[in-house]
Amino acid sequence: MKLDDLAPFIDRKWRDDITPRLVEYVRIPAKSPSFDPSWAAHGHLEAVIRMAHQWALAQPIDAAGSQALAGMTIEVVSIDGRTPCIFFDVPATRGLGSDRTVLFYGHLDKQPEMTGWRDDLGPWKPVIEDGRLYGRGSADDGYAIFASLTAIAALDTQGVARPRCVGLIETCEESGSYDLPAYLELLAPRMGDVQLVIGLDSGCGNYDQLWVTTSLRGLIGGTLTVEILDEGVHSGNASGIVPSSFRIARQLLNRLDDPKTGQVLPDVFQAPIPAERLAQAKAAGTILGDTVWKQFPWVSCNHAPAGHAHAAMFSMPTTTDPVEAILNRTWRPALSVTGAAGFPSLDSAGNVLRPKTSLKLSMRLPPTVDGEQATREMKRLLEQDSPYNARVSFDPDFGATGWNAPPTAPWLADVLERCSQQCYGQPAAWMGEGGTIPFMNMLGRKFPAAQFVITGVLGPKSNAHGPNEFLHLSYATTLTRAVAGVLAQVPR
């Protein structure tokens, strides 16, 4: 099979069908349940699930009348009190058995709005510009179900044999996938013997080749609260006697990382970097160069070259070494403060010592660190021996263990290389990602013999979770063809 033969079907599908549907998807504020506690009443998650389900039901016969996705079953699965998901099952073709399966994964829930969008853009305002679809969620990860079924259908329309394919599309991923274990327990018996997992919720180092994710970091999320008073008091009367709750919080954060370098200090959050991952980071660093750090929207408009007389005028990263930057974002822990409470707005900030400070913390963990154990240790470090006997609490939202891919089978490495060369004219590239997909670790435990192809469209400046998020349409279209190529070459 030549992958170019699949291009007309896939290109037409993306242009005429998938892109218009993703435009509709962007408009729906289907925030993940952690960001919309009233998600069931609002109905947005249900709306995107139903939209994707209805689209899938219309796919078995393409516009030219060719049979595709024959025998597919697809259903919305709901467990009381939990976010809904989609499960599909497409029988194997050309006499291939149905015991061994390929499992596709994606999600339809979204991150919250975030501030800072360009004046003519917005999270729920789809805009197509320069081959990019702007708006929340299309790249992370609304496109996944559409690309997955299109890759399968493309093979069917060409009469190419493929294995049985099943898929699980959830709506809780951006909240740590806390509903997913129940669905996995319910649906795993129907998935067959999963030999390959294809996940489309990851990143790409550039838009020039196929990128394969080798690892994902874990995550601790929670709220640190420091209380020192029952109510606010006049700062002129009390400052110097009553310690600032923010200063106490700052002291507590110093237990976790070095404020000058950002290096996380406790050993419990560290893990050795495997030699294979070091080698892959060096190769990726050679490909990407300074793009690794220049892709981000620094406050300076450009960057001074090394040794520039005015280099101090330019905002700079923690390191400009591409390999070290890759390792920092994939295999080393990092602490961020992502939200705060207890602060009045600037125009209402009087001379008052506030009674308490709350900070939303996000600790990214190396892939092999146990998320639950690290969460317990983080709580202990923050709450013990509080300065000034302040009332200190750390309330975790979740502790997710990361994922380190099993050794890649030679057949899969060869297939990925050939698909990248045929689709992009460039070799496949391998790199860890800094985000967290709890489902991968769950699947690794559930199907220990499975191989993994974790990839995605979140490339430079795509800005998932932030303002001006976009989907690179041509890259996603070509990635769909590459995924079809992988699927067609799974060992029989």
260: DSSP letter: T
Least confidently predicted of 48-57, 298-307, 372-381, 422-431 = 298-307
Query: Quick check: 309 pLDDT over 80?
Result: no
CA–CA gap between residue 161 and residue 155 (Å, rounded): 7
Q: So what's the pLDDT on residue 231?
A: 97
Provide the 10 A C-beta neighbour count for residue 275.
Answer: 8
- Per-residue pLDDT tens over the stretch 328-345: 999 999 999 999 999 999
Start and end residues for every CATH 3.30.70.360 domain found in the chain:
219-270+329-400
Q: What residues have CB less than 8 Å from 56, skipping those under 6 apart?
A: 72, 74, 86, 88, 145, 149
- Per-residue pLDDT tens over the stretch 123-158: 999 999 999 999 999 999 999 999 999 999 999 999
- Mean pLDDT score, 368-376: 96
- Mean pLDDT score, 462-476: 97
CA–CA gap between residue 238 and residue 329 (Å, rounded): 43
- Per-residue pLDDT tens over the stretch 68-120: 899 999 999 999 999 999 999 999 998 888 889 999 999 999 999 999 999 99
Provide the 10 A C-beta neighbour count for residue 195.
Answer: 18
Between 44-57 and 143-157, two packed helices, what is the crossing angle to 10 degrees? 10
Q: Are strands 334-341 and 193-203 parallel, antiparallel or unpaired?
A: unpaired
Q: Where are the beta strands (DSSP E) in 389-486?
A: 391-400, 403-404, 429-433, 451-458, 470-472
Q: So what's the pLDDT on residue 66?
A: 58
Q: Domain 3-216+402-488 belongs to what topology?
A: Aminopeptidase (3.40.630)
Q: In what order do the strands lie in the sheet with 403-404?
A: 403-404, 211-216, 429-433
Span between the terminal Cα atoms of the chain, in Å: 16
Second CATH level (architecture) for the domain 219-270+329-400: 2-Layer Sandwich (3.30)
Q: So what's the pLDDT on residue 302?
A: 56
User: Among all chains, which residue has been given the structure tokens 């520039």?
Assistant: 308
Burial of 73 (0-12, 13-18, 19+ CB in 10 A): exposed
Distance of CA 319 to the CA centre of its chain: 23
Burial of 57 (0-12, 13-18, 19+ CB in 10 A): exposed
Q: What residues have CB less than 8 Å from 173, skipping those under 6 apart?
A: 32, 107, 109, 141, 180, 201, 437, 438, 439
Q: What residues have CB less than 8 Å from 413, skipping those under 6 apart?
A: none
Q: How distant, in Å, are the alpha carbons of 306, 308, 315, 491 from that of 311?
A: 8, 5, 8, 54
Query: Quick check: 63 pLDDT over 50?
Result: no
pTM score of the predicted model? 0.90
- Mean pLDDT score, 41-65: 86
Which tokens go with 187?
């649906």
64 pLDDT tier (thresholds 50, 70, 90)? low
Distance of CA 44 to the CA centre of its chain: 20
Query: Quick check: 347 pLDDT over 50?
Result: yes
- Per-residue pLDDT tens over the stretch 26-39: 999 999 999 999 99
Start and end residues for every CATH 3.40.630.10 domain found in the chain:
3-216+402-488
Q: So what's the pLDDT on residue 305?
A: 54
476 pLDDT tier (thresholds 50, 70, 90)? very high
Which SS3 state, helix, strand or coil, does residue 370 take? Answer: coil
Q: So what's the pLDDT on residue 311?
A: 52
Mean pLDDT of the chain: 94
